[in-house]
Chains A and B, each alone.
Chain A
């Protein structure tokens, strides 16, 4: 395991170039190019806020301006969901590489996660713009926690991505199942509604969902006034994510030798 991680460090140049390639290639040929990284989340946000402020009138007092609240959870979710979807197909679509070139295959799912993280970062200016437009400045002290949340989410997502990508090679059904699980997961996470709106039983259930703590952390740091009170949960999730990452890596390593034959 240690030597695997060391090898990853050695291949950081390749990871870097592949992430850059992923980003460049994604928008190659489109007129707006890189602007899509801004426009996509913006449009998504507009649709959600339209639906939830005008169509389904949203009465909670605590989540105004709603657009900003929504964005705090939606942006990290997009990173998470897109990473897993892409990672699940990463080894299969990179099959030609795995069969023909000798390099650590875990790079492929990790690149999916990292490329989507860059998209996440590119979406942040829009969030900042909204915070400025609505005059809703976050607490400066809370912002210190922001990198911590991002890092915990990175570990959590990477762990899942490794395991899923490896298993998807053998169980192709995973890709289809995943799409449905993600939809369910999205609504089971306090992103479009605040945690407080859930009844107490529901709240207990929500606490079992790891992404709840990521979403709530983002919301508390960027949206809710007052000190960041969710840090215990976040740190606990951080520890669990390290475990999850190692477990995901173990699964990946376990199946590694079969990739070249099965993809």
Chain B
């Protein structure tokens, strides 16, 4: 079932101010549509035939450039504005985090504002009162809640707004770029809250420029471009396609900049101040000079291009990819004293690298007519950013024929957000005592718990709204499809599944000295890797009676091969009103049969 359906929605805004819109009061009240009689050039389609739907319980991201219609889409889903044509349908209570604390009154206390804001967002007074402490605690404003809101810092204001909105407990949550509301700690708290929403099966629609968030959090993403849907699908794919499109348009902007700079340099009247300097003079401070062009022009640089590995000119390059600077020069008269130089500056004007043929011990001999020079870099090892380029042809003593100062711009793109200027090729190595986690191990670390903390885990799961906690236990020595199916069936008995695993000692006590084949930590890790297992607890007792007492599950699952009266922990579960469920075991799968096969092989 879909929580949000947007079908062929178009939203047209008028371009002009409110004053022009109605000729008369009569037309304001009687014209069927407020915009039908406007000429097309007076309107602007913020959204144009947009359709998408979000299945219940999914997290959906909308990305796109500024002005692409993202926020309009969100407002339509929230019901704040109506589509000009098309249909929007939303199932369930909606809470929109569009502007936090919208409607707070500065003169009255935080407490009163929480109530009014909560009621405005659709809660009853009693519901707000019930959640009040939680809201204040979440906003971290215990000491200020009775102060007037006008005394709050902007962070406090936003936090309170966020706390109220998130505690409305909507089934559909709309989020518009609001994660930048607090310090790191608060941002993490918000993300945790979103994660909790997800786990509880709520639908979330996020509009954001934070692509990382979309990749990490969303099940699906939509890329809006100028009011139209460009791509819908897997977040990673959508983000990547979007990024490469952004790079392409940056390329166009830089190319346009470049053309302007060249035109300015070529035209002596419009050239920057430096260009009017006397022939052969150098600017007073090389490193603080702004862009410009000077020189005696006995040799002239007639073309500068940045080319990629395939020789294609461009302005945006990936970190680590090859790049070449291609110069075309022309000498009016043959010259024998010449050198070519290049310099790369970053956006702060710091010279990242500079060299010339003279420094590199190339002795000039003869240049006549047209010539082409290429400066190849096998790897562009600069951190992400915008760079400016100096190119020059000059005498060996430094007197320039033609010096182009920072006239050319290029951009380096990188997915690694490292900092500095230069990115040396590098790799990390570690001694065996330094270890980083594999993903599976990370999952195991989160889900495999000691019996002592297992009770707290169940409490946390319940707090997240997972009411029926299912428990089952076993040795799970050689995991086979029978196990996997059995565990999946167990998970379906409730809202969360905790698996108890016999420790090595306990397994030996039950199954004899030959078992287990796999040590307890590894068995636990394998189980934790299953999607439907929420936690794994290794217990050392011979029977699970103790661990069942600790966990207090609502459902105790065992295989149907166990006689009902022999199920350990039955009394504990039934005492708290839970039930015992016996799930049929898959025929043809058993660890013992597997062991027999292996033995027969050897």
Interface residues of A (CB under 8 A from B): 13-14, 17-18, 21, 24-25, 28-29, 96-103, 167, 169-172, 251, 254-255, 257-258, 260-262
Does B102 have its Cβ within 8 Å of any Cβ on chain A? yes
Residues of A close to B28: CB separation below 8 A? 167, 170-171, 255
* Cβ proximity bits B439-477 to A, threshold 8 Å, 1 near / 0 not: 000000000000000000000000000000000000000
Q: Which of B131-182 contact A (CB under 8 A)?
A: 148
Residues of B close to A21: CB separation below 8 A? 105, 108, 112, 116
Across the interface, do B103 and A24 meet the contact criterion of CB distance under 8 Å? no
Residues of B close to A14: CB separation below 8 A? 116, 119-120
Question: How many angstroms from the CA of A102 to the CA of B105 in the assembled complex?
Answer: 17
Q: Nearest 3 A-B pairs (CB), nearest first?
A: A100-B102, A25-B107, A28-B107
Q: How far, in Å, is A133 (CB) from chain B's closest CB? A: 35
Question: How many angstroms from the CA of A257 to the CA of B11 in the assembled complex?
Answer: 12
Q: How far, in Å, is B31 (CB) from chain A's closest CB? A: 10
Sample of 6 further A-B pairs with CB below 8 A, known A28-B107, A172-B18: A13-B125, A24-B107, A25-B107, A101-B98, A101-B103, A103-B120
Across the interface, do A102 and B79 meet the contact criterion of CB distance under 8 Å? yes
Does B34 have its Cβ within 8 Å of any Cβ on chain A? yes
Query: Contacting A17 at CB < 8 Å: which of B22, B80, B107, B116?
Result: B116
Residues of A close to B14: CB separation below 8 A? 261
Q: How far, in Å, is A259 (CB) from chain B's closest CB? A: 9
The chain A residue sitting closest to B121, CB to CB, is: A101
Question: How many angstroms from the CA of A167 to the CA of B120 in the assembled complex?
Answer: 24
Q: How far, in Å, is A174 (CB) from chain B's closest CB? A: 10
Does B248 have its Cβ within 8 Å of any Cβ on chain A? no
Residues of A close to B125: CB separation below 8 A? 13, 17
Across the interface, do B115 and A100 meet the contact criterion of CB distance under 8 Å? no
Question: How many angstroms from the CA of A13 to the CA of B120 in the assembled complex?
Answer: 9
8 pairs across A/B with beta carbons < 8 Å? A25-B108, A96-B103, A97-B102, A97-B103, A100-B103, A101-B80, A103-B120, A169-B18
Does B96 have its Cβ within 8 Å of any Cβ on chain A? yes
* Cβ proximity bits B53-88 to A, threshold 8 Å, 1 near / 0 not: 000000000000000000000010011111000000
Question: How many angstroms from the CA of A18 to the CA of B118 in the assembled complex?
Answer: 12
Query: Contacting B18 at CB < 8 Å: which of A97, A254, A257, A262?
Result: A262
Interface residues of B (CB under 8 A from A): 13-14, 18-19, 21-22, 25, 28-29, 34, 75, 78-82, 94, 96, 98-99, 102-103, 105, 107-108, 112, 115-116, 119-121, 124-125, 148
Given contacts A170-B18, A170-B22, A260-B75, are A102 and B108 in contact (CB under 8 A)?
Answer: no
Across the interface, do A101 and B34 meet the contact criterion of CB distance under 8 Å? no
Q: How far, in Å, is B590 (CB) from chain A's closest CB? A: 57
Query: Contacting B148 at CB < 8 Å: which of A28, A170, A258?
Result: A28
Residues of A close to B103: CB separation below 8 A? 96-97, 100-101
Residues of B close to A96: CB separation below 8 A? 99, 102-103
Question: How many angstroms from the CA of A170 to the CA of B105 in the assembled complex?
Answer: 25
Q: In the complex, how many residue pairs between chain A and chain B have their CB atoms under 8 Å apart?
A: 84
Across the interface, do A171 and B25 meet the contact criterion of CB distance under 8 Å? yes
The chain A residue sitting closest to B22, CB to CB, is: A170
Q: By CB atoms of chain B within 10 A, which of A25, A255, A257, A261 has the most? A: A261
Q: How far, in Å, is B81 (CB) from chain A's closest CB? A: 5
Across the interface, do A260 and B81 meet the contact criterion of CB distance under 8 Å? yes
Question: How many angstroms from the CA of A169 to the CA of B96 in the assembled complex?
Answer: 24
Across the interface, do A25 and B105 meet the contact criterion of CB distance under 8 Å? yes
Residues of A close to B94: CB separation below 8 A? 102
Q: How far, in Å, is A224 (CB) from chain B's closest CB? A: 40
Question: How many angstroms from the CA of A147 to the CA of B288 in the assembled complex?
Answer: 82
The chain B residue sitting closest to A100, CB to CB, is: B102
The chain A residue sitting closest to B115, CB to CB, is: A17
The chain A residue sitting closest to B96, CB to CB, is: A102
Question: How many angstroms from the CA of A97 to the CA of B96 in the assembled complex?
Answer: 12
The chain B residue sitting closest to A251, CB to CB, is: B29
Query: Contacting A99 at CB < 8 Å: which of B80, B82, B112?
Result: B80
Q: How far, in Å, is B332 (CB) from chain A's closest CB? A: 64
Given contacts A21-B105, A28-B108, are A170 and B21 in contact (CB under 8 A)?
Answer: yes
Given contacts A21-B105, A96-B103, are A102 and B78 in contact (CB under 8 A)?
Answer: yes
Question: How many angstroms from the CA of A241 to the CA of B407 in the assembled complex?
Answer: 74
Question: How many angstroms from the CA of A262 to the CA of B14 in the assembled complex?
Answer: 10
Given contacts A172-B18, A258-B34, A261-B81, are A100 and B99 in contact (CB under 8 A)?
Answer: yes
The chain B residue sitting closest to A26, CB to CB, is: B107
Question: How many angstroms from the CA of A262 to the CA of B28 in the assembled complex?
Answer: 13
Residues of A close to B78: CB separation below 8 A? 102
Residues of A close to B96: CB separation below 8 A? 100-102
Residues of A close to B29: CB separation below 8 A? 251, 254-255
Question: How many angstroms from the CA of A169 to the CA of B166 in the assembled complex?
Answer: 31
Residues of A close to B18: CB separation below 8 A? 169-170, 172, 262
Residues of A close to B116: CB separation below 8 A? 14, 17-18, 21
Q: How far, in Å, is B442 (CB) from chain A's closest CB? A: 39
Q: How far, in Å, is A248 (CB) from chain B's closest CB? A: 12
Q: How far, in Å, is B318 (CB) from chain A's closest CB? A: 40
Question: How many angstroms from the CA of A97 to the CA of B82 in the assembled complex?
Answer: 16
Across the interface, do A257 and B82 meet the contact criterion of CB distance under 8 Å? yes
Q: By CB atoms of chain A within 10 A, which of B34, B78, B79, B98 has the most? A: B34
Question: How many angstroms from the CA of A171 to the CA of B78 in the assembled complex?
Answer: 27
Residues of A close to B79: CB separation below 8 A? 102
Question: How many angstroms from the CA of A2 to the CA of B99 in the assembled complex?
Answer: 31
Residues of A close to B121: CB separation below 8 A? 101
Across the interface, do B107 and A100 meet the contact criterion of CB distance under 8 Å? no
Across the interface, do A101 and B81 meet the contact criterion of CB distance under 8 Å? no
Residues of A close to B102: CB separation below 8 A? 96-97, 99-101
The chain A residue sitting closest to B124, CB to CB, is: A13
Question: How many angstroms from the CA of A65 to the CA of B279 in the assembled complex?
Answer: 100
Residues of B close to A169: CB separation below 8 A? 18
The chain B residue sitting closest to A94, CB to CB, is: B103
Q: How far, in Å, is B311 (CB) from chain A's closest CB? A: 51
Q: How far, in Å, is A114 (CB) from chain B's closest CB? A: 15
Q: By CB atoms of chain A within 10 A, which of B75, B98, B103, B121 has the most? A: B103
Question: How many angstroms from the CA of A260 to the CA of B99 in the assembled complex?
Answer: 14
Residues of B close to A28: CB separation below 8 A? 107-108, 148
Residues of B close to A251: CB separation below 8 A? 29
The chain A residue sitting closest to B106, CB to CB, is: A25
The chain A residue sitting closest to B17, CB to CB, is: A262
Question: How many angstroms from the CA of A29 to the CA of B105 in the assembled complex?
Answer: 14
Across the interface, do A257 and B34 meet the contact criterion of CB distance under 8 Å? yes
Across the interface, do A13 and B119 meet the contact criterion of CB distance under 8 Å? yes
Question: How many angstroms from the CA of A169 to the CA of B18 in the assembled complex?
Answer: 9
The chain A residue sitting closest to B119, CB to CB, is: A14
The chain B residue sitting closest to A171, CB to CB, is: B25
The chain A residue sitting closest to B13, CB to CB, is: A261
Across the interface, do B80 and A29 meet the contact criterion of CB distance under 8 Å? no
Q: How far, in Å, is B76 (CB) from chain A's closest CB? A: 10
Question: How many angstroms from the CA of A202 to the CA of B586 in the assembled complex?
Answer: 99
Question: How many angstroms from the CA of A133 to the CA of B125 in the assembled complex?
Answer: 43
Residues of B close to A170: CB separation below 8 A? 18, 21-22, 28
Query: Contacting B120 at CB < 8 Å: which of A99, A101, A262?
Result: A101
Question: How many angstroms from the CA of A28 to the CA of B148 in the assembled complex?
Answer: 10
Residues of B close to A100: CB separation below 8 A? 80, 96, 98-99, 102-103
Residues of A close to B75: CB separation below 8 A? 99, 260
Question: How many angstroms from the CA of A166 to the CA of B563 in the assembled complex?
Answer: 74
The chain B residue sitting closest to A96, CB to CB, is: B102
Question: How many angstroms from the CA of A169 to the CA of B22 in the assembled complex?
Answer: 12
Q: How far, in Å, is B297 (CB) from chain A's closest CB? A: 59
Question: How many angstroms from the CA of A17 to the CA of B98 in the assembled complex?
Answer: 22
Q: How far, in Å, is A122 (CB) from chain B's closest CB? A: 19
Q: How far, in Å, is B284 (CB) from chain A's closest CB? A: 54
Residues of A close to B124: CB separation below 8 A? 13
Given contacts A101-B80, A103-B120, A251-B29, are A29 and B107 in contact (CB under 8 A)?
Answer: yes
